[in-house]
């Protein structure tokens, strides 16, 4: 049994809240609560959820940008800790990321050529200008940018071009896994399609895995073989793409799918089986299922017991006391 | 036949920039009737927002507007500030994309809602409060009385956007212009907000929905206008637009959207290239460089308008001429 | 598409700001005069013109004392420009020192955050709280009056505000995604600070520096007013103003001329600073 490329175990991250809410207590917000996942080499996984579900925190924790309060991240079997520089350095060469804001992820005072060169220098130690220039030109071409754009600044380019540059920077060292945190969400539809295709091409050509974090289920379905659903920091469903989309088990997943607007005239996404979102300050305490405030199928057990992630069918798991229940909105 | 609320005719919007004159909107004509939702679809740089800012007199100082936009018979273009102020926020309301910016952080929700009508002397304090409760319920916010005492930072993004819509509805406007109202929202919240807007149109509100999201359009719009590089390239009833788009850009856009109900393997057909930057003056059709159907005439000759009863398209070689008069 | 990016854009924007351009022109003229003035004038700065009676004489074209003379019969034209030169020298040098120290301190504190930031900024707070005028006076008494002492005193205080400002900017920058990207690349903190934080605060720093120079000049003038500034026969604008003030009623030109130059200098620097702030305001993309 080969070691999975990435393994996350029991990952928990909390943030201190600076401003108390209605319950005037400066406390902590749980961004992630004991999340487990595993990704094999070359595979692509989508992490979906809405705001506050912790998906961005997950990507930041994996990339080592935020320290978890509990749990571990293992890269190719090795425990990754922010204090262990050598392991971290090795991981960085093999794990890179692209984030949402194409203009924000590039230093506005550096040309995109310089930004890409920085990756080459930091991760592979290549400083010789001639050698670097060749690699940079090749990388820009691979992402569909004309190499002459290397001397341009981010504000001179379009969102799509900047995002391509960010992808070039992340992939020039041929990482084994690329984490895309809402990488296409800020782009126009036609450009989004181009970038989705690009990511897929790169992934297939280089055997590069993808961890796609997105609220856009359709895009995730396009790129990912496996899907994980987060709700308020907890992993509520996980499964192979087709199974999850065809027969979602967790009521939240079903509500999410029903709410996605479909380009079909007359489709009414407001009929999704979900109750109005509760006031953020009144959200139920951590006992029991966190979704019960919005779930049409919630009952007493849901208030008492935290549902564990249970296997329903060949790798398709859900954390629910009533998976697959019939829902009425 | 419901009456026309907003009639835009040959509207042009130019900007004088240090790099020369830039055309943001070219010759747009569009009507919106009572109880109708018209979606204006386009990507960045299509001019969809500038078009309506121009109609409402909210353009930046360097903007130059030509043409006509009349609301319930009154001309908006070139109207003086007093006349515009009278209409804006009362019969003609607008909701923007970012819910955080629409609400003043240091005033309570109740105060902000009431201000809309009290400032204009439209109601007294009691009436204002009653109306505030009414609109909050209409937008689906529960426990309306305590909402009035809350402050914007105590609400989630979706709740704030609903409050912004409630504010727009306070004066019972006849026309609401909503610019990307749900783009910043979670999909489940988006669904609820769209439900609110849909309900409002059923009660007679005219709605202009500016968006880039075709899925949103399909659910709520009656007619759709597609914009590209400052021009309206196609207008059609929603069913026809989706089933038989006439303009190649519309068709390509529809194909670019990843769908949950289509096979997910294989390439997403995108559109090559990018939209032209606003300053480029265009010979012929602006979409020609990216159009799979383009021929020589598309690049040089002026683009003909084909108009039918309910549809129109600006194209040399439309995909279909169904519904587009002889 | 702009060639050469941001500085070009900024330059062009500055060029369109008429007030800033005029201010820059006047500034250049003042600097030129301060360098050449004493040479162009007909008298040396310490030459006492015994032919005048009284010694303090008003401006006149006839006797070559274009700005008049001071109470000791020395040519004011030469002294004013020589004084301007000293004031500018002190101001620019002190500003450069405070810039270098302040930017390095503030960028590091702001980026690192946490306890390091806490200690670094507490240090700044303590220095801020010290009555530096007191120190300057004590130091002057102990070490005697010298240009270097003044320049040190001013520099030692000037960097504090710069550090605070840069720290604020650095903290904001730290949240931006390109900093995350740099961390993801595994870049060490010092490299991130040098390559990503500092270049992005330069805009604010430059603007603040041009607005600091007037403050420094005023401070030096104040020290001179107190009698703690430069020594004879050298002079600074501040000293000239101080001396002129005592003769205000009998020889008003002794106050008016140096104050006018001082005021003009400050005005130009402020206009230029405003112009730079508008020009460097990152309204790109």
**A50 in contact with B, Cβ within 8 Å:** yes
**Chain C residues closer than 8 Å to A82 by CB:** none
Question: Is a pLDDT exceeding 60 seen at residue C131?
Answer: yes
| Structure confidence at residue A285 (pLDDT) | 59
pLDDT band at C3 (very low <50, low <70, confident <90, very high): very low
Average confidence score pLDDT of chain C: 83
pLDDT band at B244 (very low <50, low <70, confident <90, very high): very high
Annotate B227-283 with three-state secondary structure.
EECCEEEEEEEHHHHHHCCCCHHHHHHHHHCCCCCCCCCCCCCCCCCCCCCCCCCCC
Domain covering A6-246: architecture: 3-Layer(aba) Sandwich (3.40)
**A104 in contact with C, Cβ within 8 Å:** yes
What is the tens place of the pLDDT at every residue in B193-243?
888 899 889 988 999 999 888 888 988 999 999 999 999 999 999 999 999
Q: Spell out the residues 6+ positions from residue B117 whose beta carbon is closer than 8 angstroms to its own.
A: B123, B127, B128, B131, B170, B171
**B194 in contact with A, Cβ within 8 Å:** yes
| Structure confidence at residue C42 (pLDDT) | 74
Q: Which of B120-129, B137-146, B290-299 has the lowest mean pLDDT?
A: B137-146
The ipTM of this complex is 0.84
Mean pLDDT of A4-9: 91
More confident residue, B36 or A270: B36
Average confidence score pLDDT of chain A: 86
B contact residues 37-66, partner A, Cβ 8 Å cutoff: 43-44
Mean pLDDT of A281-299: 71
CB atoms within 10 A of CB B125: 10
What is the tens place of the pLDDT at every residue in B48-59?
999 999 988 888
| Structure confidence at residue A19 (pLDDT) | 54
**A9 in contact with C, Cβ within 8 Å:** no
pLDDT band at A281 (very low <50, low <70, confident <90, very high): very low
Mean pLDDT of B105-127: 89
CB atoms within 10 A of CB A128: 10
What is the tens place of the pLDDT at every residue in C35-94?
887 777 777 777 787 777 777 778 877 777 888 888 888 888 888 888 898 888 888 888
8 Å CB contact between B187 and A260: yes
Report the first-to-last Cα separation within chain C, whole angstroms: 11
| Structure confidence at residue A18 (pLDDT) | 60
Q: Which of A13-22, A39-48, A165-174, B92-101 has the lowest mean pLDDT?
A: A13-22
- Strand A177-181: give its sheet, edge to edge: A95-98, A177-181, A209-214, A44-48, A226-231, A234-240, A316-319, A309-313
Q: Do A158 and B264 touch (CB under 8 A)?
A: no
| Structure confidence at residue C6 (pLDDT) | 67
What is the tens place of the pLDDT at every residue in A202-211?
999 999 999 9
| Structure confidence at residue A279 (pLDDT) | 44
| Structure confidence at residue A326 (pLDDT) | 67
**A310 in contact with C, Cβ within 8 Å:** no
Q: How far is residue B265 from each of residues A179, A200, B83, B268, measured CA to CA in Å?
A: 21, 10, 56, 9
Mean pLDDT of C127-133: 82
Mean pLDDT of A224-236: 92
Question: Is a pLDDT exceeding 80 seen at residue A115?
Answer: yes
Q: Which of A53-67, A267-281, A289-303, C199-213 has the lowest mean pLDDT?
A: A267-281
Q: Where are the domains of chain A?
A: 6-246
Write the Ramachandran bin of A62: left for phi over 0, alpha for psi from -120 to 50, otherwise beta: alpha
pLDDT band at A328 (very low <50, low <70, confident <90, very high): low
pLDDT band at A200 (very low <50, low <70, confident <90, very high): very high
| Structure confidence at residue A329 (pLDDT) | 46
| Structure confidence at residue C109 (pLDDT) | 95
Q: Which of A264-273, B290-299, C92-101 has the lowest mean pLDDT?
A: A264-273
Buried-state track A3-22, b at ≥16 Cβ within 10 A, e below 16: ebbbbbeebbbbeeeeeebe
d(CA C211, CA C203): 13
| Structure confidence at residue C284 (pLDDT) | 38
Taking one residue from A and the other from C, the number of pairs with CB-CB distance under 8 angstroms is: 73
Mean pLDDT of C200-217: 83
pLDDT band at A278 (very low <50, low <70, confident <90, very high): very low
Q: Do A122 and C186 touch (CB under 8 A)?
A: yes
> Which of A190, A245, A258 comes nearest B256 by C-beta?
A190
Structure tokens at B118: 């009290």
| Structure confidence at residue C72 (pLDDT) | 82
Question: Is a pLDDT exceeding 50 seen at residue C2?
Answer: no
What is the tens place of the pLDDT at every residue in A118-138?
999 999 888 889 999 999 999
**B157 in contact with A, Cβ within 8 Å:** yes
Q: Which of A69-73, A227-231, A296-300, C252-256 has the lowest mean pLDDT?
A: A296-300
For chain C, list the domains and their CATH numbers: 6-42+79-280 (1.10.3720.10)
What is the tens place of the pLDDT at every residue in B166-186?
999 898 899 999 998 888 778
More confident residue, B114 or A294: B114
Mean pLDDT of B122-130: 89
Percentage of residues in chain A with pLDDT exceeding 90? Answer: 44
> Which of B140, B219, B253 comes nearest A189 by C-beta?
B253
> How many residues are recorded in chain C?
285
Mean pLDDT of A148-157: 90
Mean pLDDT of B76-80: 86
The HSE-up count of residue B168 (CA atoms within 13 Å, CB side) is: 27
Question: Is a pLDDT exceeding 60 seen at residue B164?
Answer: yes
Mean pLDDT of B244-262: 90
pLDDT band at C270 (very low <50, low <70, confident <90, very high): confident
- Backbone dihedral angles phi then psi of residue C216, each to the nearest 5 degrees: -65, -45
Question: Is a pLDDT exceeding 70 seen at residue A72?
Answer: yes
Taking one residue from A and the other from B, the number of pairs with CB-CB distance under 8 angstroms is: 155
| Structure confidence at residue B102 (pLDDT) | 79
Disruptive mutation site among A95, A121, A155 for chain C (greatest number of C CBs within 10 Å): A155
Burial (CB count within 10 angstroms: exposed 0-12, middle 13-18, buried 19+), residue C1: exposed
Q: Spell out the residues 6+ positions from residue A303 whose beta carbon is closer than 8 angstroms to its own.
A: A284, A287, A288, A289, A292
| Structure confidence at residue A287 (pLDDT) | 73
Average confidence score pLDDT of chain B: 87
Question: Is a pLDDT exceeding 80 seen at residue A275?
Answer: no
């Amino acid at each position: 049994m080969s070691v999975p490329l990435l393994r996350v175990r029991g990952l928990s991250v909390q943030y201190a809240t600076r401003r108390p809410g209605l319950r005037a207590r400066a406390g902590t917000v749980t961004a992630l609560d004991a999340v487990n996942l595993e990704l094999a080499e070359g595979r692509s996984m989508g992490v979906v959820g809405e705001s506050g579900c912790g998906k961005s925190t997950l990507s930041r924790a994996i990339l080592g940008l935020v320290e978890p309060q509990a749990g571990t991240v293992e890269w190719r079997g090795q425990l990754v800790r922010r204090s262990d520089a050598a392991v971290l350095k090795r991981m960085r060469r093999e794990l890179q990321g692209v984030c949402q804001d194409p203009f924000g992820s590039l230093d506005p005072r550096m040309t995109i050529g310089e930004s890409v060169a920085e990756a080459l220098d930091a991760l592979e130690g290549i400083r010789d200008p001639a050698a670097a220039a060749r690699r940079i030109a090749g990388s820009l071409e691979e992402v569909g940018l004309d190499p002459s754009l290397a001397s341009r600044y981010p504000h001179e380019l379009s969102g799509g071009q900047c995002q391509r540059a960010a992808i070039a920077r992340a992939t020039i060292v041929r990482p084994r896994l690329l984490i895309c945190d809402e990488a296409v969400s800020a782009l126009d539809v036609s450009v989004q399609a181009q970038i989705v295709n690009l990511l897929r091409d790169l992934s297939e050509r280089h055997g590069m895995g993808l961890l796609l974090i997105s609220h856009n289920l359709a895009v995730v379905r396009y790129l990912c073989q496996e899907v994980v659903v987060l709700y308020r920091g907890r992993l509520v469903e996980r499964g192979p793409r087709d199974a999850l989309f065809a027969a979602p088990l967790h009521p939240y997943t079903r509500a999410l799918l029903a709410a996605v607007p479909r380009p079909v005239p007359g489709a009414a996404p407001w009929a999704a089986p979900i109750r109005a979102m509760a006031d953020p300050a009144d959200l139920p305490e951590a006992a029991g299922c966190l979704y019960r405030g919005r779930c049409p199928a919630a009952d007493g057990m849901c208030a008492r017991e935290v549902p564990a992630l249970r296997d329903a069918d060949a790798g398709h798991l859900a954390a629910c006391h009533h998976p697959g229940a019939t829902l009425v909105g | 036949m419901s009456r026309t609320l907003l009639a835009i005719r040959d509207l042009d919007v130019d900007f004088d920039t240090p790099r020369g004159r830039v055309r943001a909107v070219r010759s747009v004509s569009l009507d919106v009737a009572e109880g109708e939702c018209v979606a204006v679809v386009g990507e960045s740089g299509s001019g969809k927002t500038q078009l309506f800012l121009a109609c409402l007199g909210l353009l930046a100082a360097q903007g130059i507007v030509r043409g006509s936009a009349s609301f319930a018979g009154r001309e908006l273009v070139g109207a003086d500030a007093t006349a515009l102020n009278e209409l804006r926020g009362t019969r003609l309301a607008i909701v923007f994309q970012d819910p955080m910016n629409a609400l003043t952080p240091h005033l309570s929700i109740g105060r902000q809602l009431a201000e809309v009508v009290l400032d204009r002397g439209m109601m007294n304090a009691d009436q204002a409060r009653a109306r505030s409760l009414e609109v909050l319920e209409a937008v689906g916010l529960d426990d309306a009385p305590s909402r009035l005492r809350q402050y914007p930072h105590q609400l989630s993004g979706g709740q704030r956007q609903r409050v912004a819509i409630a504010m727009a509805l306070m004066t019972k406007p006849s026309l609401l212009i909503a610019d990307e109202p749900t783009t910043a929202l979670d999909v489940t919240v988006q669904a609820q907000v769209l439900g609110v807007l849909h309900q409002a149109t059923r009660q007679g509100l005219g709605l202009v929905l500016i968006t880039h999201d075709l899925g949103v359009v399909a659910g709520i719009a009656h007619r759709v206008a597609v914009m590209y590089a400052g021009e309206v390239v196609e207008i059609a009833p929603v069913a026809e637009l989706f089933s038989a788009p006439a303009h190649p850009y519309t068709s390509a856009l529809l194909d670019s959207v990843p769908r949950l109900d289509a096979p997910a393997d294989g390439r997403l057909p995108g559109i090559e290239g990018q939209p032209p930057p606003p300053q480029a003056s265009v010979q012929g059709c602006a979409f020609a460089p990216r159009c799979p159907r383009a021929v020589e005439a598309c690049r040089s000759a002026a683009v003909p308008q084909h108009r039918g009863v309910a549809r129109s398209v600006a194209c040399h070689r439309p995909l279909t001429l169904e519904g587009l008069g002889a | 598409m702009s060639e050469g990016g941001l500085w070009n854009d900024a330059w062009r924007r500055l060029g369109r700001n008429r007030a800033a351009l005029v201010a820059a022109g006047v500034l250049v003229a003042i600097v030129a005069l301060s360098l050449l003035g004493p040479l162009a004038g007909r008298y040396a700065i310490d030459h006492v013109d015994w032919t005048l009676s009284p010694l303090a004489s008003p401006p006149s074209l006839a006797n070559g004392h274009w700005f008049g003379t001071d109470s000791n019969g020395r040519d004011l034209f030469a002294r004013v420009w020589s004084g301007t030169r000293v004031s500018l020298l002190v101001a620019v040098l002190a500003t450069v020192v405070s810039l270098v120290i302040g930017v390095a301190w503030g960028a590091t504190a702001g980026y690192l955050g946490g306890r390091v930031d806490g200690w670094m900024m507490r240090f700044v707070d303590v220095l801020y709280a010290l009555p530096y005028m007191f120190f300057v006076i004590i130091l002057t008494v102990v070490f005697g009056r010298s240009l270097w002492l003044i320049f040190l005193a001013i520099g030692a205080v000037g960097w504090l505000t710069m550090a605070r400002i840069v720290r604020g900017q650095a903290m904001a920058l730290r949240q931006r995604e390109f900093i995350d990207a740099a961390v993801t690349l595994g870049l060490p903190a010092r490299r991130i600070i040098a390559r990503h934080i500092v270049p992005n605060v330069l805009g604010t720093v430059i603007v603040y520096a041009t607005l600091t120079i007037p403050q420094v000049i005023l401070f030096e003038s104040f020290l001179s007013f107190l009698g703690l500034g430069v020594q004879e026969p050298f002079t600074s604008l501040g000293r000239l103003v101080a001396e002129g003030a005592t003769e205000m009623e009998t020889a008003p030109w002794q106050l008016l001329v140096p104050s006018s130059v001082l005021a003009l200098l400050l005005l130009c620097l402020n206009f230029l600073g405003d112009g730079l702030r508008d020009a460097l305001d990152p309204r790109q993309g």
